[in-house]
Chain A
Amino acid sequence: MARRRIGVFVCHCGNNIGGVVRVPEVVEYARRLPNVVYAEGSLYACSQEGLSSMKEKIAAYGLNRVVVASCTPRTHETLFRNTCEEAGLNRYLFEFVNIREHCSWIHMHAPDEATEKAKSLIKMGVAKSCYLEPQEELESEVCPEALVIGGGVAGMTAALNLARQGLKVRLVERGKQLGGLLSEVNKLFPANREAKEILDPLVEGVKNHPLVTIYLGSEVESVEGFIGNFKVRIAKVEEEIKVGTVIVATGARELKPIGQYGYPTMANVLTQLELEERLKEGVDEWQSVVMINCVGARVADRSYCGRFCCLVSMKNAILIKEGNPQAKIYILHRDVMASGVEAERYYRRAMELGVRFIRYDPENPPQVLGDGRVEEVKVYHALIGREVILPAQMVVLTTPLVPQADNERLSKMLKVPLGSEGFFLEAHLKLRPIEFATDGVYLCGSARHPSDITESVSQAYAASAKAAIPMREGVVRAEAITAFSQESLCNGCGNCLWVCPFGAIELRDSERRGQVAGVNAALCKGCGCCVAACPNGAMQQRGFSDQQLMTMIEALAEGV
């Protein structure tokens, strides 16, 4: 084995790591590890200064392996690999050690143990890095067509944005028409314009664009493949469709609060969306309306805030109040969420028009009184400290959007995760908010979490812009973590072939050894199933070889 010259860069991440783990001590420890010729601490390894220093040290110390101990490879591996490459080192001669998410952040009150654990993790990373080899990435073509699942405002915006860049789009909508949830909405805050003023041009734009193929009343039945080359089957459609990227824009639905506040048995108890349906026909001369916010939101089994429901209640209160200034309108809330310039102004407008906001306590919730239909609502008024009885010709329940019932089916089909509430879970809340960890699959709108029109449109632009990158580049490079067979060790048993989920392995005739396994690297996705199944150690995985993993185990066991 050629002489290893390893450099270790330990990140303080400001106080995130340095506030718990004693970084200078860890750097000293790393410096004394076998084959380490240089070690330094860095305030922020990912900053310009940190990266420049790394490049300088690679040159100055002739480093041929680089270990960075900082945050998670899921967000920062590409950055550090690129830095190695810029310094003339193959990007696969880099090893990541996670001492933030997996150490300082979870052992904040145990600095001694966290420091020792960081040392141990770095020791394992350094040990593995000795066995890293330069790798070449395989390029594959990207089909310049996208699948957009969901024809609501997010899906249509994403589809149109891609089509206008010259890319073909297949837009699949489950409903009989385009529009999604927006087609049920009456008017939109904060300008109180009709929803169809926004919706109609969008629908027309999508329908008339020659590059968009629309499948109405259709559902995606199966998706197979990977970035650049997804094979999609749509129910009731004969042909198999090939696309390069997939955008999930399946939206959400309004919670129907069955069994709460007399819904749906009491005739005059509605949800906000049901109210909007009636408002479309014109504002009735309602004399008294009580709205109850946070119904089914911010409760034990649904902990999230619906984000814009408060504004929906204000909007409909304003519309009714404008129709009949004498109407008594009460909004019973837990907290008013109206952040941002426009929303705050809207909130004030509602109050100026005379809409009354009364805070209720979820421990002592409002009660609807009446027989068959609600006549009055009783609520404990926290500010005046006693119960009040409010007249209620109509009660409107403000409920959050909830995930689509079949999100799980789609998440399994696309191999992308759902969050604990059942919405789709992005790769990273801040750094990769509209894409999945799975390459080539993107996300926008209320499928991700309840989003208003503004947010859905912005996310759709973002998702379509991201999806356009590989399609415009035309090629993607696959991470070089594929399996390979060492023919001299293979006895041709075929275990690897049976366990491979991608059909990437075949038995080939070899001149000296009969049949041996061979891997088609273009099909291999790098799971390593075959490696663990190989009885001879003939099958190995780049970046995760037996030797690399075993040396980590040995490094950890050494101190025991």
Chain B
Amino acid sequence: MASDDQPTILVFACNWCSYAGADLAGVSRLEMPPHCQVVRVMCSARVRPEFVIAALSRGLDGVVVLGCHPGDCHYSEGNYYTRRRALLLKGLLEYVGIESERFQLRWISASEGAKFARTITEITDAIKALGPNGWRQPPPEG
């Protein structure tokens, strides 16, 4: 983990629902652990599985993908692709020997600021409980 046993967690949030939900959490001044960094994408389906693998193999302790609830995708069907990819990706992570809990997919709507805060808190706690990411690749020598 980064320092002082604090994890570093990368969060991809879709522009239309989850990023807005995260904004609402801010507007509502909901406090949550400070270990998550949100990256905005237009749709959760933009998140290439390689991003998750890259993040975990570089030592990040967790990756979270947040999208619109099923049926609510701004692009109609993007989050359905995300859901299918996530399922496969979790299997792949287990196969290569990494705790699949380090990768999480959740649905958060624009009005769910409180759910965003709760989700980030729960996931941070769960990843802290897992301990540091053991899959971290050794830094290049020299």
Which positions in A face B, CB cutoff 8 Å?
72-74, 98, 100-103, 105-110, 113-114, 116-117, 120-121, 124, 411-412, 415, 417-420, 425, 437-438, 481, 499, 501-502, 525-529, 531-533, 541, 544, 546, 549-550, 552-554, 556-557, 559-560
Instruction: Contact check, A113 vs B109: say whether CB atoms are below 8 A apart.
Output: no
Q: Given A74-B19, A527-B78, A529-B43, do A550 and B54 touch, yes or no (CB 8 Å)?
A: yes
Query: Can you report 19 A-B residue pairs in the complex whose CB atoms are below 8 A from each other?
Result: A72-B19, A74-B20, A98-B40, A101-B23, A107-B34, A117-B34, A117-B37, A438-B74, A501-B76, A527-B42, A528-B41, A528-B45, A533-B81, A546-B48, A549-B48, A549-B51, A553-B51, A554-B58, A557-B58
State which residues 1-18 of B face A: CB under 8 Å.
1-2, 6, 8, 10, 15-17
Contact among B16, B42, B59 for A528, CB-based, below 8 A: B42
A143–chain B nearest beta-carbon distance, Å: 21
Q: Are A529 and B75 in contact (CB under 8 A)?
A: yes
* B77 adjacent to A501 (CB under 8 Å): yes
- The reply to whether A108 and B10 form a contact with Cβ atoms under 8 Å apart is no
Please determine whether B46 and A553 come into contact, CB atoms closer than 8 angstroms: no
Tell me, in angstroms, the Cα distance from A39 to B75 when the chains sit together. 37
CB-based contact A417/B47 at 8 Å = no
Report chain A residues within 8 Å CB of B55.
553, 556-557
Nearest B residue to A554 via CB reads B58
Residue pair B10, A556 in contact (C-beta under 8 Å) = yes
The answer to whether A532 and B39 have CB atoms under 8 Å apart is no
Interface 0/1 of B116-129, CB less than 8 Å to A: 01000000000000
Partner of B75, one of A74, A420, A501, A550: A501
Other-chain contact of A101, B6, B27, B60, B74 (Cβ < 8 Å): B27
Given A107-B31, A529-B78, do A412 and B72 touch, yes or no (CB 8 Å)?
Answer: yes
19 additional contacts (CB under 8 A) given A102-B23, A549-B48:
A102-B22, A103-B34, A106-B26, A106-B30, A108-B29, A412-B71, A415-B72, A415-B74, A417-B109, A418-B111, A425-B111, A481-B42, A527-B46, A532-B49, A541-B42, A557-B55, A557-B59, A560-B60, A560-B136
A179 to nearest B CB, angstroms? 30
Contact B20 A437 (CB under 8 A): yes
The answer to whether A121 and B58 touch across the interface, beta carbons within 8 angstroms, is: no
Contact of B66 with A by CB under 8 A? no
Decide if the interface of chain B is mainly helix, strand, loop or mixed: loop
What are the residues of chain B within 8 A of A554 when measuring CB–CB?
A: 54, 58
Query: Which B residue sits closest to A16, measured CB to CB?
Result: B26
CA distance A532 to B117 in the complex (A): 27
Whether A529 pairs with B23 at a CB distance below 8 angstroms is no
Residues on B with C-beta less than 8 A from A418 are: 109, 111
Q: Is residue B110 contacting chain A, with contact meaning CB distance below 8 A?
A: yes
Does B38 count as interface, using CB distance less than 8 angstroms? yes
Taking residues whose C-beta sits less than 8 angstroms from the other chain, chain B's interface range is 35 or more
* Min CB–CB distance B83 → chain A (angstroms): 13
| B26 close to A102 (CB less than 8 A) | yes
In the complex, which residues of chain A have a beta carbon less than 8 angstroms from the beta carbon of B19? 72, 74
B112 in the interface, Cβ–Cβ < 8 Å?
Answer: yes
Least CB distance from A200 to B in Å reads 37
Query: Residues of B contacting A121 with CB < 8 Å?
Result: 37
In the bound complex, do residue A420 and residue B112 qualify as a contact, i.e. CB atoms below 8 Å apart?
yes
Q: Which residues of A contact B71 (CB under 8 A)?
A: 412
10 nearest A-B pairs in the assembled complex, by CB-CB distance? A101-B26, A528-B46, A557-B58, A113-B34, A527-B75, A527-B43, A105-B26, A417-B110, A560-B59, A529-B45
Tell whether A106 pairs with B111 under 8 Å between CB atoms, given A528-B41, A557-B55: no
Residues of B within 8 A of A (CB): 1-2, 6, 8, 10, 15-17, 19-20, 22-23, 25-27, 29-32, 34-35, 37-43, 45-51, 54-55, 58-61, 71-78, 81, 85, 109-112, 117, 136
How far does the alpha carbon of A36 sit from the alpha carbon of B136 in the complex, in Å? Answer: 29
Inter-subunit contact A102/B54 (CB<8 Å): no
* C-alpha spacing A108/B117, complex, angstroms: 14
Report which residue of A110, A417, A544 has the largest number of chain B beta carbons within 10 angstroms of its beta carbon: A417
Closest to B24 in A: A101
Q: Are A526 and B38 in contact (CB under 8 A)?
A: no
Which residues of chain B are within 8 angstroms of A113 by Cβ–Cβ distance? 6, 34-35
Which residues of chain A are within 8 angstroms of B17 by Cβ–Cβ distance? Answer: 417
* A532 with B48: CB separation less than 8 A: yes
Q: How far is the CA of A557 from the CA of B41 in the complex (A)?
A: 19
| Nearest Cβ on chain A to B132's Cβ, whole angstroms | 9
Q: How far is the CB of A422 from chain B (nearest CB, A)?
A: 10
| Central interface residue in B45, B60, B136, by most chain A CB within 10 Å | B45
Once the chains bind, are B39 and A552 in contact (CB under 8 Å)?
yes
Distance of A425 Cα from B109 Cα, bound (Å):
11
The CB with the most chain B CB atoms within 10 A, among A74, A532, A559, is that of: A532
**B37 touching A532 by the CB < 8 A rule?**
no
Smallest Cβ distance from A496 to chain B, in angstroms? 12
**A499-B39 in contact (CB<8A):** no
Which of A525, A528, A552 has the largest count of B CB atoms less than 10 A from its CB? A528
Chain B residue at smallest Cβ distance from A412: B71
Cα(A232)–Cα(B39), bound, Å: 35
Q: Assuming the A-B contacts A100-B26, A106-B32, A417-B17, are A553 and B43 also in contact, with contact meaning beta carbons closer than 8 angstroms in the complex?
A: no
Assembly CA distance A122 to B27 (angstroms): 20
CA distance A109 to B22 in the complex (A): 18
Indicate whether A501 sits within 8 Å of B78 (C-beta atoms), given known contacts A100-B26, A528-B45, A531-B46.
yes
Does B42 contact A553, Cβ atoms closer than 8 Å? no
Task: Write the chain A residue with the least CB distance to B71.
Answer: A412
Chain B residues with CB under 8 Å of A100's CB are: 26
CA distance A138 to B26 in the complex (A): 33
Most buried by A among B1, B23, B59, B85: B23
- The answer to whether B20 and A417 have CB atoms under 8 Å apart is yes
Q: How far is the CB of A528 from chain B (nearest CB, A)?
A: 3
User: Which of B37, B43, B46 sits near A556, CB closer than 8 Å?
Assistant: B37
A560 touches B29 (CB 8 A): no
Query: A79 CA to B136 CA in the complex, in Å?
Result: 41
Residues of B close to A105: CB separation below 8 A: 26-27, 29
